[in-house]
Amino acid sequence: MNKLTPEELTRYSRHLVLKDFGLKNQEKLKQASVLVVGAGGLGSPVLLYLAAAGIGKIGIADFDVVQESNLQRQVLFTTDDIGKNKALAAVQHLNKLNPFSTAIAIQEKLTGNNALNIIEQYDIVLDGSDNFPTRYLVNDACVLTGKTLVYGSILQYEGQLAVFNIPNNDGSRSANYRDLFPEPPLPHEVPNCEQAGVLGVLPGMLGSMMANEAIKLITGIAKPLINGLVIVDSLSLEMTTVKIPDRNSRANIKKLIDYEDFCGINQEKDKSLNMKEITVQELKQLIDTKSDFQLIDVREIHEYEQANIGGEHIPMAEVPHNIDRIQTDKRVVVHCRSGGRSGNIIQWLEKNHSLENLYNLKGGIIAWANEIDTSLDVG
pLDDT at 271: 42
Structural domain contains residue 4:
no
Helix (H, G, I), strand (E, B) or coil at 214: helix
Same domain flag for 154 and 301: no
Question: What CATH code is carried by the domain that includes residue 299?
Answer: 3.40.250.10
DSSP 204: H
Percent with pLDDT over 70 in the chain: 95
pLDDT at 195: 62
pLDDT at 322: 92
Tens of pLDDT, residue by residue over 95-121, are: 999 999 999 999 999 999 999 999 999
How large is the average pLDDT for residues 146-157?
95
Euclidean distance between CA atoms 156 and 198, whole angstroms: 4
Q: Kindly tell me if the per-residue pLDDT of 3 is higher than 80.
A: yes
- The residues near 66 (Cβ < 8 Å, ≥ 6 apart) are 74, 77, 81, 82, 83, 84, 85, 86, 89
pLDDT at 268: 55
Domain of residue 289 covers: 273-371
Structural domain contains residue 23:
no
How large is the average pLDDT for residues 145-157?
95
* Total number of domains constituting the chain: 2
Same domain flag for 359 and 214: no
Nearest to 187 by CA among 377, 343, 25, 369: 343
* Residue 193 designated active-site: yes
How large is the average pLDDT for residues 142-162?
95
Same domain flag for 317 and 344: yes
Structural domain contains residue 159:
yes
Euclidean distance between CA atoms 141 and 319, whole angstroms: 18
Tens of pLDDT, residue by residue over 37-67, are: 999 999 999 999 999 999 999 999 999 999 9
Q: Kindly tell me if the per-residue pLDDT of 184 is higher than 90.
A: no
Q: Kindly tell me if the per-residue pLDDT of 189 is higher than 70.
A: no
Same domain flag for 126 and 44: yes
Q: Of these residues, 110, 141, 163, 193, which one is catalytic?
A: 193
Q: Which of 222, 237, 259 is the last residue of a domain?
A: 259
Q: Which of 259, 285, 313 is the last residue of a domain?
A: 259
Same domain flag for 61 and 182: yes
Q: Provide the CB-side half-sphere exposure for 152 (13 A, CA).
A: 32
pLDDT at 56: 97
pLDDT at 182: 87
Q: Kindly tell me if the per-residue pLDDT of 155 is higher than 80.
A: yes
Structural domain contains residue 22:
no
Q: Which of 21-35, 90-104, 225-239, 272-286 has the least mean pLDDT?
A: 272-286
Q: In which band, very low, low, confident or very high, does the pLDDT at 329 lie, cut at 50, 70 and 90?
A: very high
Same domain flag for 100 and 208: yes
pLDDT at 378: 85
Question: What CATH code is carried by the domain that includes residue 57?
Answer: 3.40.50.720
Same domain flag for 233 and 344: no
Helix (H, G, I), strand (E, B) or coil at 348: helix
Question: How high does pLDDT run on average in the chain?
Answer: 92
pLDDT at 317: 82
Q: Are 129 and 138 in contact (CB under 8 A)?
A: yes
How large is the average pLDDT for residues 63-87?
94
Same domain flag for 244 and 167: yes
Structural domain contains residue 267:
no
Same domain flag for 188 and 54: yes
Q: Are 87 and 107 in contact (CB under 8 A)?
A: yes
Q: Of these residues, 34, 149, 229, 336, which one is catalytic?
A: 336
Same domain flag for 130 and 226: yes
Same domain flag for 293 and 229: no
Tens of pLDDT, residue by residue over 301-320, are: 888 999 999 999 999 888 98
Q: Are 265 and 301 in contact (CB under 8 A)?
A: no
Same domain flag for 141 and 228: yes
Q: Which of 205, 230, 259 is the last residue of a domain?
A: 259
Structural domain contains residue 214:
yes
Structural domain contains residue 86:
yes
Euclidean distance between CA atoms 273 and 350, whole angstroms: 10
Strand pairing report for 312-313 and 102-106:
unpaired
Tens of pLDDT, residue by residue over 237-288, are: 999 999 998 888 888 898 998 888 888 776 655 543 578 999 999 999 999 9
Across the strands, what pairs with 305? none
The Cα angle at residue 111 between residues 108 and 116, in degrees rounded to 5:
100
pLDDT at 273: 55
Structural domain contains residue 27:
no
Nearest to 133 by CA among 308, 237, 256, 248: 256
